[in-house]
A and B are shown apart, each in its own frame.
Chain A
Amino acid sequence: MNILAIETSCDETSVALVRNGRYILANVIASQIPLHQKYGGVVPELASRQHVVTIVPVLEEAMNRAQLDWPQVDAIAVTKGPGLSPALLVGVNAAKALAFARHKPLLGVNHMEGHIYSNWLIPEAAAAAGDTPQEPQFPLLNLIVSGGHTELVLMTGHGQYRMLGKTIDDAAGEAFDKAARILGLGYPGGPAVQRASEGGDPTRFQFPRAWLKGTYDFSFSGLKTALLRKVQEYGVVASKPVPWQKQESEGAASPSPAAAVPIVERELPVADLAASFQAALVDALVEKTVAAAAEYGVREVLVAGGVAANALLRSRLKERLPIPFRYPPIVLCTDNAAMIAAAAHYRYEHALQHDLSMDIEPSARYV
């Protein structure tokens, strides 16, 4: 039972082939990060133009890597939303054409469900080594942390979800992006902040944790503002090059005209700021997750989404959770088509297929 899946909801063009909902035969991801880097975020029109060009080469490479031909493909799956409309359009129309041309069932998948199902996947290397962990056991708790979403979702069976809490302002990934911009660390922010925080003192700055008592909701905008204020105290204006960057690019010290102005530019303790910011953000995620897991008596906790790649989040959850928890390898944390194929598998088994009139759903909900 092989599903071919396409994912183009944001800035990755990805095509995957997955067997039985778990075994990755191919998972080709063409990242557009360099294309959007200079804008500090994804530009939908550029993303879409790139998807139109990349879709067929990625498709071709996935088929080659999986060593499959069309008769061995049982269904075509695609992300129908949520995501950027111009980007979603490319994948959805491509998938429909494949399904039509080759007479395959069409399965539209919610991108967030895809992230959840990334934890069902068995990476190629693990499968080759005979390392095949059992499927996640219900009821389970999902912590989905990505650039656009931060959600705690209770799952009692395939396709059965209950939203326990979500962010009321910035998503965790978004907060990392903003922090990276404030600290002059580049894009994408999550890996940049994590890298910068290495060797930093996470206790040097006490940034606020918005606990939002009595709910499982999150809030990260206060944390971002606190970081910005702290940086400004150092006489550095956000989005301008920070002093250590200037020194790097200008080399030898020369009398600075800045010395004449009253604001004293002290050297910005980037590592300590990044580490303290990361600690505050991870604290909030961990506390809520641990509390929800206990209240609902789940058997497992699954972490998914781009921020699931964060090492501090992983180690803190491991310390705090008394039950098994799992997270995907880094390549399956960010957007990829293998997770879409995994989520499509239960839809296929329950004959939840779509017809050729399927549309994109840029604000699709799954709960």
Chain B
Amino acid sequence: MILALDTSTEYASIALYLPGQGVVAEQTWRSGREQTTQLLPTVESLMSLLAVDTGGLAGVAVATGPGSYSGVRIGISTAKSLAFSLGIKLWGVPSLDVLAYSQVAVTAAQVCAVLSLGRGRYGWALYRTRGARWQRLTDYANNTIPEIAAQAAEVGTEARIATMFCGELDAAAASEVTGIMGNSASIAPAAAGLRRAGYLAELALQRSDRGEADDPATLQAIYLQPKAEA
């Protein structure tokens, strides 16, 4: 069984995933600044629902950001220590990839994954499915909504496709996006904009299938500096 942890923003998510079967338990909630106090107690209660012990874990997946610096470090410190002490595999997965992966398969549009970094700043990247493969089109970046919308519009216009925004956008941010991009942009429903750790687990297992894993001694968070021009 795989444990997946994501505490990149004030929304936290954890999942237990059985390779070959799928998500067997998942919890996503607004943890705010309580990630340190809530993360492991919630993992413990989820594991007890399934009567699984930590000895039954075969790997840990963790979201590596971008996001809140503290939030990301809480997840990574926890995941690394679990992996080290249990002698099991560790996979880091960027949090924006988790968000995009949940949408990119079900839309023909390019997906603009965004998550809040606070103070009007957002971490974001563009994704698109080409053929059977989905891929990231831009670097992970830290910008304001107008800057992100301008960039997304430019890439979308060139490729002649619409953009679907998904992630932590409140109503004001969403209307700012549509105000700039008009009907070339759509906003995923709020429920679809949650980062869910089931997807994180799946991305980690895809890495595992490619023979990839991370070293607990070197895995680092993604820290984004603000950029005026992404």
> Which residues of A come within 8 Å of B, CB atoms?
45, 48-49, 51-53, 55-57, 59-60, 70, 85-86, 89-98, 100-103, 355-360
- For A357, the chain B residues whose CB sits under 8 A away are 37-38, 40-41
- Given known pairs A45-B69, A52-B220, the reply for A101 and B85 (CB within 8 Å) is yes
| Interface range, B side | 20 to 34
> A93 and B78: CB pair below 8 A?
yes
Chain A residues lying within 8 Å of B36, measured Cβ to Cβ, are 89, 92-93, 359-360
What CA separation (Å) do A55 and B43 show in the bound complex?
A: 22
A-B contacts counted at CB < 8 A amount to 94
Do B40 and A96 have beta carbons less than 8 Å apart?
Answer: yes
Residue from the list A49, A90, A97, A359 in contact with B85, Cβ < 8 A: A97
Docked pose: A210 CA to B223 CA in angstroms: 46
B77 and A89 contacting across the interface, CB-CB below 8 Å: yes
Q: 17 A-B contacts, Cβ less than 8 Å apart?
A: A48-B73, A52-B220, A55-B80, A55-B81, A57-B217, A60-B217, A86-B73, A90-B77, A91-B77, A94-B81, A98-B81, A101-B54, A356-B41, A357-B37, A357-B40, A357-B41, A359-B37
Contact of B40 with A52 in the complex, beta carbons under 8 Å: no
* A49: chain B residues within 8 A (beta carbon): 220-221, 223
Cα A57 to Cα B86 with chains together (Å):
15
Residues of B within 8 A of A358 (CB): 37
With A and B bound together, what is the CA distance between A360 and B38 in angstroms?
Answer: 13
Is B100 in the interface zone, CB < 8 Å from A?
A: no
Q: A52-B77, A60-B84, A89-B70 provided; 11 other pairs, C-beta below 8 A?
A: A48-B69, A49-B221, A52-B73, A52-B76, A59-B81, A89-B74, A89-B77, A93-B36, A97-B40, A98-B81, A356-B44
**Residue B218, interface by CB 8 Å:** yes
Check: B216 CB closer than 8 A to any chain A CB. yes
Residue of B37, B54, B77, B86 near A55 (CB, 8 A) is: B77
B82 contacts the other chain (CB 8 A): yes
CA distance A48 to B220 in the complex (A): 11
A246 to B221, CA, bound (A): 41
Contact with A along B175-218 (1 / 0, CB 8 A): 00000000000000000000000000000000000000000111
A53 / chain B contacts, CB cutoff of 8 Å: 217-218, 220
The answer on a CB contact under 8 Å between A93 and B43 is: no
> How long is the Cα–Cα vector from A52 to B76 in the complex, in angstroms?
8
Write out the residue numbers on chain B whose beta carbons fall within 8 Å of the beta carbon of A101. Answer: 54, 81-82, 85-86
A59 & B41 in contact (Cβ 8 Å cutoff):
no
Shortest Cβ gap from B208 to chain A (Å): 20
Is the Cβ of A56 less than 8 Å from the Cβ of B84?
Answer: yes
Cα distance A86–B220 in the bound complex, in angstroms: 15
- Chain A contacts for B82, CB-based, 8 A: 97, 100-101
Residues of chain B from 25 to 68 with CB closer than 8 A to chain A in the complex: 36-41, 43-44, 54
**B70:A100 contact, CB within 8 angstroms:** no
| CB-nearest residue of chain A to B84 | A56
Neighbouring A residues of B218 by C-beta, 8 Å:
53
| Residues from chain A with Cβ under 8 Å of B78 in the complex | 93-94, 96-97
Which of A56, A70, A98, A360 lies in contact with B217, CB distance below 8 A?
Answer: A56
On chain B, the residues within 8 Å of A94 by CB distance are: 77-78, 80-81
B85 nearest in chain A by CB position: A101
List of A residues within 8 angstroms of B76 by Cβ? 52
Chain A residue at minimum C-beta to C-beta distance from B74: A93
In the complex the two chains form, is A90's CB within 8 Å of B40's CB?
no
Q: In the bound complex, how far is the Cα of B54 from the Cα of A57, in angstroms?
A: 22
B68 to chain A, nearest CB (A): 11
A-B pairs, top 5 by smallest CB distance, nearest first, are: A97-B81, A93-B77, A94-B81, A56-B216, A356-B40
A102→B86 CA distance, assembly (Å): 8
Residues of B within 8 A of A48 (CB): 69-70, 73
| Contact partners of B86 in chain A: CB under 8 A | 101-102
In the bound assembly, the distance between CA atoms of A357 and B31 in angstroms comes to 13
A52–B80 CA distance with the chains assembled, in angstroms: 9
